[in-house]
A and B are shown apart, each in its own frame.
Chain A
Amino acid sequence: MKNDLRVILSLFASSSRLQRKRAYLTIAAIAWGTVAILLLLAFGQGLRLQLDKNRRSTGENIAVMWPAETAKAWKGMPPGRAIRPSMDDIAFLRERMPELKSVFGEITSGRTALAYGRKTVSGRVIGTNVVYGEARKHYPMAGGRFMAPEDEIQRRRVIFLGDELAKDLFGDEPPVGKTLQLNNTPYLVIGVMQKKTQMGMYGGPDANHAIIPITTFRAQFGRDRLNNLAIETWNPEEMKSALRKLNEILGAKYGYDPTDERALQTWDMVKSSKIMKNMLIGIQLFLGIIGALTLLIGGVGVANIMYAVVKERTREIGVKMALGAKRRWIIAPFVLEGLVYTFIGGALGIIIATLLVALTSFVPIEDNKVMAFLGRPTLSIQIGVATSMILGMIGLLAGYFPARRAASIDPASTLRYE
């Protein structure tokens, strides 16, 4: 064994000085393939992380329901009845389903006049509960705050603005602490939402709406039927049974079939995020396969050069066999040579790809709509391991098949001299 290694290394050292130019080309092909697979996977990874972040910016483990009409007959009542939960159902559900992380309702007033100074914009105003802020990721910018429990209890006229709405109304002026007019009623601006890129939305982007306490909303607009009822679970796995239980409770209260999915239209974010996750895995896989194929072309290049080397050295191989070289001593230096080309090319490719990925981090993401959606290309350990394994496989195969041909050379006929 030890002798084998010595012989192989010695043979390798004395044989790998040929075919310089082709070796460079081959190494370049492997490097290019490695760059391709790494960039594609990094791009896929960045997309995955960004979409995941964007998805979460609406909220996690949330299901939003909005009133609709029953589709199934129930206990002698015909289908087509409207089911409209009201503000009371929020407290009712909190009591009946203490296992939930939160329950909140939304009452909406679209195209509502919001005025400050001489400026008036028309925006969507939502009356909701305090828990909405956490659940729907309405984080305040520095200097402001979201609604507090007292705001809701005391029906305070306070308002929290989406960042774009705030900009439309206040321009460069800091809005927090100012008083604006909502349908000619004064409201104190308590906070402005931090900017976020949002994937899923209902009603409209969060950046363009304004939030007031649901109790204040009822007092001002005189409505208490909910436009949206939402629940939040602690874990994604709990959502399915939570929704079933909710429909049983509300079905009993409002008289509809708990299995009637049309009674309350539901957007289950857990379910749609699962679909998206699978889709992203699919994209990642697809990108990986394209990258691997590109790399394979490099591997074919290596195999090709190795075949040429075998052909060129046929007589040398025959001579070595005549002198007593065993099969593995012929094979191993070729496999080693293929691996070395692949390794050098792969290392180059990894360096180049890492540099390129590092360069993209200088592109500002905040003001770039494309980047905000696609995310930053990101390299991960898994990508590195996967790429190295593919490289190793290709290197081994690219050396092995030509080496096998070398080992099958018949010394007697190779050394014939006419």
Chain B
Amino acid sequence: MANGNGNGNGNGAIIRMSGIRKVYDTGKIMVEALTGIDLEIEKGQMVAIVGPSGSGKSTLMNLLGCLDTPTSGDYALGGQNVSGVSRDQLAEIRNRRVGFIFQNFNLLPHISALENVEMPMLFGGVPVRERHQRAGELLARVGLGDRLDHKPTELSGGQMQRVAIARALAMNPDIVLADEPTGNLDSTAGSDIMSLFTELWQQGRTMIIITHDPALARRASRVVEIRDGRIVHDQVAAA
């Protein structure tokens, strides 16, 4: 399971979006959340997606993570075209290629930290013993080696987000997607998480982070700004 090696894709872009539109049809009104997104992200980039509330950031993240399908446009993730793919195939793509991190953590409340981290590997068909071992290693790596058997309710916000990060890494995905990962954390816990992201990026991960936080955005190698459903600014930081 190579870390998204581009699959023969000439310039190594792990994400290729072109002409992506997303329209929410709520019955009464139609909301055009994304009005035409063209976006390419290289392997190993750390991209911050910024923009005001309601500009379409979360919608974009859902599409990037294959949680939702665009109304129109083309999207290839790791060289694999994901339009016109079945729900179960999308589930498999999410499982293998995407690690999600949410603002409100979204851990399963009734099972332990270890079991939470094991969950994607259960879906990915990883054998029990390997699952167990890897989940333990990942939790140790995010600094929770002594909290394996704790339920999410027994952990602090920062600790919960660490469990979520360990879970996101479980299947060694092509991209890690985080939507406002520090939004529910105090500033100390928030900066710890940011440092962890930077570390992961330095280890070669492709990180895509949606954030309001200018401090977090500043750590990124590239900042994409969205307004009213389109990209208005795309800046690669000098190396």
Contacts and interface: CB of A to CB of B under 8 A. Distances in A.
Interface stretch (A120-128, A155-163, A325-333, A363-371): A325-333
A15 B122 CA distance: 14
Interface string B85-112: 0011001101110001011101111110
A249 to B, nearest CB: 80
A327 B123 contact: no
Interface stretch (A129-137, A238-246, A284-292, A410-418): A410-418
B96 A324 contact: yes
A409 to B, nearest CB: 11
Interface stretch (A45-53, A189-197, A211-219, A313-321): A313-321
A222 to B, nearest CB: 97
A410 B62 CA distance: 11
A322 B100 contact: yes
Contact of B87 (A6, A11, A327): A327
A323 B167 contact: yes
Nearest to B167: A323
Interface string B102-134: 111011111100010001101111000000000
B65 interface: yes
A135 B94 CA distance: 81
Interface string A267-307: 00000000000000000000000000000000000000000
A324 to B, nearest CB: 2
Contact of B120 (A15, A324, A327, A412): A324
Interface in A1-22: 3, 6-7, 10-11, 14-15, 17-18
Interface in A321-363: 321-327, 329
Contacts of B62: 412
B40 interface: no
A318 B107 CA distance: 11
Contacts of A411: 67-68
Contacts of A7: 122-123, 125
A416 B53 CA distance: 13
Interface residues of A, number: 28
B159 to A, nearest CB: 18
A22 B104 CA distance: 29
B83 interface: no
B106 A319 contact: yes
B43 to A, nearest CB: 21
A126 to B, nearest CB: 81
Nearest to B111: A14
Contacts of B94: 321-324
A416 B180 CA distance: 12
Interface string A375-418: 00000000000000000000000000000000000111001110
Interface string B171-191: 100000001100000000000
A187 B65 CA distance: 106
A319 B87 CA distance: 15
Contacts of B221: none
A326 B68 contact: no
A35 B180 CA distance: 56
A315 B106 contact: yes
A67 B176 CA distance: 101
A14 B110 contact: yes
Interface centre among B104, B107, B108, B179 (most CB of A within 10 A): B108
Contacts of B67: 321-322, 411-412, 415
A180 B94 CA distance: 101
B58 interface: yes
Contacts of A6: 122
A415 B179 CA distance: 11
A284 B95 CA distance: 54
B110 A323 contact: no
A140 B210 CA distance: 99
Nearest to B100: A322
A320 B118 CA distance: 12
9 contacts: A7-B123, A322-B94, A322-B100, A323-B95, A325-B123, A327-B91, A410-B68, A411-B67, A415-B106
Interface of B: 58, 62, 65, 67-68, 87-88, 91-92, 94-96, 100, 102-104, 106-111, 115, 119-120, 122-125, 167, 171, 179-180
Given A10-B122, A323-B167, 10 more contacts: A7-B125, A315-B106, A318-B106, A319-B107, A322-B94, A323-B94, A324-B123, A416-B58, A417-B58, A417-B180
When A and B form their complex, which 3 residue pairs have the shortest distance between CB atoms, in order from nearest?
A324-B95, A412-B68, A324-B123
